[in-house]
Amino acid sequence: MAPTQDANRNPALTRPAGAERRVVITGCGTISPIGHTVEEFWAAATAGQSGIRPITRYDVDALPTRFAGEVVGFDPKPYMPNKVSRRLDRFAQFGLAAALQAMDQAGLTIGEELATRTAVLVGSGYGPGQLMRTAIHDLRDHGRRRMTPYLASGGSLDSAAGEIAARFGARGASGATVTACATGATCVGDALRMIRHGYADVAIAGGADDAVNPLDLGAAANAGALSRRDDDPHLVSRPFDRQRDGFVMGAGAGIVVLEDAEHAVRRGATILAEVAGYGATTDAYHSTHPHPDGLAARQAMTDALADAGLRPEDIDHVSAHGTSTQLNDRIESAAIHAVLGGHAPRVPISSLKSMTGHMIGAAGAVELIAAVQTIRTGLVPPTVNCDDPEDTTLDYVPHKAREHAVRAVLSNSFGFGGHNAVLVVRAWPGAADTAGRQDRQPKEEGR
């Protein structure tokens, strides 16, 4: 059972016995192709700057694509000692770095009393591709003894979660939920439920991936998912545009610190936003293709709204999955129409993948962080390269960011295997951005 909470300091947080707890975000961190901090990432995203460029870390002659949203110039040294970085794949280095950023912003120290009440859920879609590739080559060319001794621990999908838990002394539940391209959102959603139902007071949650390597790029290319365009790399990722021909691989990490709202208020934390709703479903249709009618995707969106206690007309912005593949974008647009109804044409819709590429397991968490920034700054990021939208009735915010008052965001994540995870994030009453703007009261308090 959760410890008894004293809500007398803030009557607005008082809840009846047995009611679910509200969950807020107090810290965010990201490593991305367009910035190695949230501030850098957000400045580039709202400026419409693409991080898609020619691949530099690998020979691309054997690959059908030369471009990716590569993380360039990342140095693990400011975040971890060499003995830690040596045992981790780059994806886990990204995850640990983003977690350190998020915990620093949250101003949270995990002491003995909080340790067992702090969970870590950080997943990865593809995991330690480079570490595994190197180990396989070493085994083939030189034998077992030349393989890295860190493979048994660093070669797992939960290596980032374990390293983050150890770094902060978090002794609650930890692990790596994997739902392909929806992983980051799923980990946040599952962490939300853990806090709501009293299994934790704090959670460090999100996703990380570094799939810009020959193994993962080759696999995605063989699945027919990658763009084959060979022109300006900044023009390759084209979500919702008629000329789209596949996604562009990306890399990075997105981590958030979630807290029981009463816990955050008691310790005087700055609350950035509230994670108000979560919906998760499965297509049960195909290993890579989404269901043609988007039935489960629609259900996840509807469930997230219901979980947040919001109506379709309460949504001010959609952070789209928007991969730049023919099927995904068409089906997602239809799902937005179906769920938001007559309100859909009035809602600005953005795909960050037009600038970052597809960050796989990190995508949903990074896009959630963008939703938080949208609420706090009143800026909706653009969908670049959306020159000729397939659905002219929807507003994809083409080319340039836009000022728009946003109180509630629907953030979609859909993955291979038919995994769907949708989050609703909304303004917290009284929260202010760095410029001092006060967010307006949500239309529906819900939870």
Say whether 386 is catalytic.
no
State the pLDDT at residue 440. 31
Kindly tell me if the per-residue pLDDT of 439 is higher than 60.
no
Kindly tell me if the per-residue pLDDT of 159 is higher than 70.
yes
Q: What's the one-letter identity of residue 362?
A: A
Over range 198-224, report the average pLDDT: 93
CA distance 391 to 190: 33
Q: Higher confidence at residue 46 or residue 129?
A: 46
pLDDT band at 167 (very low <50, low <70, confident <90, very high): very high
pLDDT band at 435 (very low <50, low <70, confident <90, very high): very low
* Max CA pair span of the chain: 67
Q: Are 122 and 88 in contact (CB under 8 A)?
A: no
Which tens digits make up the pLDDT trace of 386-405? 999 999 999 999 999 999 99
CA distance 251 to 362: 7
Question: Fold for domain 26-426?
Answer: Peroxisomal Thiolase; Chain A, domain 1 (3.40.47)
Q: Which of 213, 263, 278 is nearest to 423 (CA)?
A: 278
Which pair of structure tokens corresponds to residue 273? Answer: 């936003």
Mean pLDDT rounded to a whole number for the chain: 91
- Per DSSP, the three-state class of 130 is helix
pLDDT-above-70 percentage for the chain: 92
Over range 366-373, report the average pLDDT: 98
- Candidate list 28, 181, 187, 386, residue with the active-site label: 181
State the pLDDT at residue 433. 52
Name beta bridge partners: 67.
54
State the pLDDT at residue 148. 86
Which tens digits make up the pLDDT trace of 278-308? 999 999 999 888 899 999 999 999 999 999 9
What values do phi and psi take at 11, rounded to 5?
Answer: -55, -25
Which tens digits make up the pLDDT trace of 6-59? 433 343 454 444 568 999 999 999 999 999 999 999 999 999 999 999 998 888
- Per DSSP, the three-state class of 63 is coil
- 129-142 and 214-222 helices, crossing angle to 10°: 110
State the pLDDT at residue 19. 64
Give the torsion sign (CA, 274, 43, 36, 399): positive
Q: Where are the domains of the chain?
A: 26-426
